């Protein structure tokens, strides 16, 4: 009945569904990056001029887009308190998801609960963190795309248990986990149940396979083909075999917790079976119709797993159309290149690195498809067999890990505008290859793009950037060709996103973890010319020696010059036998401005500075000890006379910093910025900018 009603419209709209999908995607992108509305306007003009959409598709596109816009702006977060009953929906290693009606809530931590548990719970909703810099994890968008609200659970009490889909799934997994090899079990969960709750994807990222294995749902088609052929061979009845297979897949999808990847693959299969095989819809149409059906949860379009799942599925469906060769290895190598090319902006933005082994990703994919996937189904029947065969898997992963690490290439974060340019260039490149025209021009375009992209940090203007690192301290200075760190805590991710390739100088104010916690890893990962400190301990010196990095002790009264940047060392003068009081205090002249860095200097050290140095007019003061009242006394602030005061501090920190008294004293003489409120605070020769406006 439904099929008969839809058939005329589907025939009329055939080969045009992708125009509607692109329309919706551009709306979604424009909501996040407002300047990309220009791209949407150009596309809209194109649609009107070419008349690509019929009336029905226009209506569908507008309805879905309005639904998306309403969902985007209505999913705001407010702090509130709840006390009542809720159902445990999902339990991960470090978080729990609970349901109250149609609303879902996520709390981070370890809870001794299972899916299906009914609990009496009291919790407080928490406002999610906004990103602190370009490329930082966007918790707000993640929660929106997942339909989750962040909470802190104050107390809970178990009431009862109910049989739910996720409870059924957890029962199955809890049955197999003790009966299977622990090294292989995470892959077993991914391949059979699309469960990545405890999945370490580092190894798979090196092969560029993490999101194919975890979220593409490609095994649904494999299961369908295998089971259907088996049943048809037994029954000799086509429709009976097909119905049984599809019913099995529905139950299988439910046993997987109806995860988006498996659900999407099942919907695609059903659409293709009922409309694609009658030539009403093309494969591209079936893919797009599946996309539109999945938009019943519109904000899912912002989920990275959804994006990569769509890309992976599209590539698996269409790669054989782009690459046709009798040479098996060449064919798979070229398909791997296309696969990397299409997923590159999203894959590399996850951890900003990729192994060159990913060039052979499709060879490895077949290794998983034709060896480990069938074996995983065998392990369903005989789980103990995994103990005898897992050594093959462990040996393989160890080999890939060792060789993959030697071939790692790092990439900076690709901003949205760069993504748009990248895909425009990529489309031009692929079309030129297919049409056998303008190949030299397209290759030149992509080459220039990568040269600019890989050196993106070199094209950025000089700056002093106070990094929002939580309850710690790090400042990054880019000046001419120099990369300089003042302290280094929780800064590795930021440096990766920036595309920083080497660090010239690191100044460690003192040896507390919240000021030098990342030093060991940075010395391993980057070439560092010199590390400076004051009254260095043997541990600090040994750390530099282990990495063959030069180090030097600085004392008050000294000075350095890096290019045209002048650095005065204001303290310490004498060893005060206390870590904070021995903080390295620097006054840096840059952009005709003065930047004062005080580490965790105490009032005692401030007195030494006042007595041993001429008063200065400080334009930018990095406030000592995160705004603690152990520092920043009136006499020192009057001596420094800062125009702007910057405090590096964590949101909701347990130290109740910054001190209200210190804030009051600072606001008396300067503007005050807190990293917890403003994110990264950047100063260039044009002025001060905060990431969170």
Instruction: Write out pLDDT tens, residues 290-316.
Output: 999 999 999 999 988 788 778 877 777
Give the burial class of 129: count Cβ atoms within 10 A of its Cβ; 0-12 exposed, 13-18 middle, 19 or more buried: middle
Residue 349 has pLDDT above 90, yes or no: no
Residue in this structure with the two tokens 């990703």, named with its chain if needed: 361
Residue 388 has pLDDT above 80, yes or no: yes
Confidence class of residue 69 from pLDDT cuts 50, 70 and 90? very high
Confidence class of residue 264 from pLDDT cuts 50, 70 and 90? confident
d(CA 215, CA 204): 13
Average pLDDT over residues 663-692: 95
What does the DSSP 8-state code read for residue 508? Answer: -
Q: Which residue has the higher pLDDT, 148 or 427?
A: 148
d(CA 438, CA 445): 11
Residues with Cβ within 8 Å of 690's Cβ and at least 6 positions away in sequence, in order, are 673, 678, 679, 680, 681, 682
Residue in this structure with the two tokens 């005065």, named with its chain if needed: 568
Average pLDDT over residues 126-140: 89
CB atoms within 10 A of CB 659: 20
Nearest by Cα to 495 from 529, 531, 519, 530:
519
d(CA 542, CA 520): 11
Residue 426 has pLDDT above 50, yes or no: yes
Residue 210 has pLDDT above 60, yes or no: no
Instruction: Calculate what percentage of the chain has a pLDDT beyond 90.
Output: 42
Residue 199 has pLDDT above 60, yes or no: no
Q: Which two tokens stand for residue 339?
A: 């696969």
- Segment 435-492, tens digit of pLDDT: 677 777 777 888 888 888 888 887 888 999 999 999 999 999 999 889 999 999 999 9
pLDDT at residue 215, as a whole number:
47
pLDDT at residue 325, as a whole number:
66
Rg of the Cα atoms in the chain: 29
Distances (CA, A) of 261 to 191, 303, 305, 400, 415: 12, 12, 8, 26, 26
Residue 256 has pLDDT above 80, yes or no: no
Residue 198 has pLDDT above 60, yes or no: no
Nearest by Cα to 124 from 82, 76, 96:
82
pLDDT at residue 275, as a whole number:
78
- Which range among 42-46, 256-260, 350-354 shows the weakest confidence by mean pLDDT? 256-260
Q: Which residue has the higher pLDDT, 37 or 337?
A: 37
Residue 209 has pLDDT above 70, yes or no: no
pLDDT at residue 322, as a whole number:
65
- Segment 499-554, tens digit of pLDDT: 998 999 999 999 999 999 999 999 998 999 999 999 888 888 889 999 999 999 99
Query: Considering the entire predicted model, what is its pTM?
Result: 0.87
Average pLDDT over residues 167-183: 87
pLDDT at residue 196, as a whole number:
63
Residue 277 has pLDDT above 70, yes or no: no
For residue 486, the cross-strand partners are 475, 507
pLDDT at residue 580, as a whole number:
93
pLDDT at residue 520, as a whole number:
94
d(CA 393, CA 372): 9
Q: What backbone torsions phi and psi does residue 595 show, to the nearest 5 degrees?
A: -115, 115
Cβ(548)–Cβ(531) below 8 Å: no
Cβ(544)–Cβ(531) below 8 Å: yes
Q: Which two tokens stand for residue 485?
A: 């760190």
CA angle 2, 8, 14 (to 5 degrees): 110
d(CA 272, CA 290): 9
Q: What backbone torsions phi and psi does residue 91 show, to the nearest 5 degrees?
A: -125, 120
pLDDT at residue 594, as a whole number:
96
Distances (CA, A) of 445 to 421, 428, 531: 10, 9, 40
CA 475 to chain centre: 23
Cβ(648)–Cβ(469) below 8 Å: yes
Residue 205 has pLDDT above 80, yes or no: no
């Amino acid at each position: 009945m439904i099929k008969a009603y839809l058939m005329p419209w589907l025939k009329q709209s055939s080969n045009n569904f992708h125009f509607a999908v692109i329309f919706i995607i551009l709306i979604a992108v424009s909501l996040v990056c407002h300047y990309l509305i220009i791209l949407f306007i150009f596309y809209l003009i194109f649609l009107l001029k070419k008349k690509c959409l019929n009336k029905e598709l226009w209506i569908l596109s507008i309805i879905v887009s309005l639904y998306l816009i309403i969902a985007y702006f209505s999913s705001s977060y407010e702090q509130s308190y709840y006390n009542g009953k809720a159902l445990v929906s999902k339990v991960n290693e470090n978080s729990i998801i609970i349901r109250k009606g149609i609303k879902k809530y996520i709390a981070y931590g370890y809870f001794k609960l299972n899916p299906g548990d009914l609990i009496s719970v009291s919790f407080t909703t928490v406002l999610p963190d906004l990103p602190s810099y370009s490329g930082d994890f966007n918790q707000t968008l993640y929660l929106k795309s997942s339909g989750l609200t962040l909470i802190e659970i104050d107390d809970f009490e178990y009431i009862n248990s109910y049989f739910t889909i996720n409870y059924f799934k957890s029962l199955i997994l809890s049955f197999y986990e003790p009966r299977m090899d622990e090294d292989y079990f995470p892959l077993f969960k991914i391949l059979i149940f699309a469960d990545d709750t405890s999945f370490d994807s580092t190894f798979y990222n090196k092969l560029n396979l993490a999101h194919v294995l975890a979220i593409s749902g490609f095994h649904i088609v494999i299961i369908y083909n295998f089971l259907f052929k088996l049943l048809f061979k037994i029954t000799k009845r086509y429709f009976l075999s097909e119905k049984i297979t599809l019913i099995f897949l529905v139950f299988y999808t439910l046993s997987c917790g109806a995860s988006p990847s498996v659900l999407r693959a099942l919907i695609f299969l059903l659409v293709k079976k009922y409309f694609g095989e009658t030539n009403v819809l093309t494969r591209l149409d079936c893919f797009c119709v599946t996309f539109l059906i999945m938009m019943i949860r519109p904000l899912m379009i912002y989920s990275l797993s959804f994006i990569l799942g769509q890309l992976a599925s599209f590539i698996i469906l269409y790669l054989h159309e782009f690459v046709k060769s009798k040479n098996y290895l060449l064919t798979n190598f070229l398909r791997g290149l296309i696969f990397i090319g299409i997923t590159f902006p999203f894959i590399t933005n996850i951890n900003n690195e990729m192994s060159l082994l990913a060039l052979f990703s499709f060879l490895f994919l077949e290794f998983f498809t034709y060896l480990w996937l069938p074996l995983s189904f065998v392990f369903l029947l005989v789980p103990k067999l995994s103990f005898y065969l897992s050594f093959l898997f462990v040996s393989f992963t160890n080999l890939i890990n060792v060789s993959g690490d030697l071939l790692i290439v790092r990439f900076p974060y690709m901003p949205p505008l760069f993504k748009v340019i990248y895909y425009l260039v990529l489309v031009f490149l692929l079309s030129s290859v297919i049409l056998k025209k303008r190949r030299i021009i397209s290759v030149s375009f992509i080459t220039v793009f990568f040269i600019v992209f890989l050196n993106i940090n070199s094209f950025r203007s000089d700056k002093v950037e106070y990094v929002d690192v939580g309850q710690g301290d790090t400042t990054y200075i880019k000046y001419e060709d120099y990369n300089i760190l003042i302290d280094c805590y929780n800064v590795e991710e930021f440096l990766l996103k920036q595309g920083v390739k080497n660090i010239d100088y690191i100044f460690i104010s003192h040896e507390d973890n919240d000021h030098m916690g990342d030093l060991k890893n940075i010395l391993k990962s980057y070439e560092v010319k010199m590390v400076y400190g004051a009254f260095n301990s043997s541990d600090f010196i040994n750390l530099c020696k282990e990495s063959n990095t030069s180090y030097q002790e600085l004392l008050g009264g000294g000075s350095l010059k890096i290019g045209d940047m002048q650095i005065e060392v204001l303290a310490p003068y004498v060893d005060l036998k206390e870590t904070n009081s021995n903080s390295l205090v620097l006054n840096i002249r840059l952009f005709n401005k003065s930047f004062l860095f005080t580490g965790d200097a105490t009032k005692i050290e401030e007195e030494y500075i006042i007595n041993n140095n001429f008063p200065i007019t400080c334009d930018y003061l990095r406030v000592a000890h995160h705004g603690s009242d152990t520092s920043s006394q009136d006499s020192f602030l009057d001596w420094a006379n800062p125009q702007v005061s910057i405090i590096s501090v964590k949101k909701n920190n347990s130290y109740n910093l910054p001190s209200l008294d210190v804030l009051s004293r600072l606001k008396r003489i300067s503007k005050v910025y807190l990293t917890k409120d403003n994110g990264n605070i950047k100063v260039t020769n044009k002025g001060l900018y905060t990431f969170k406006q």
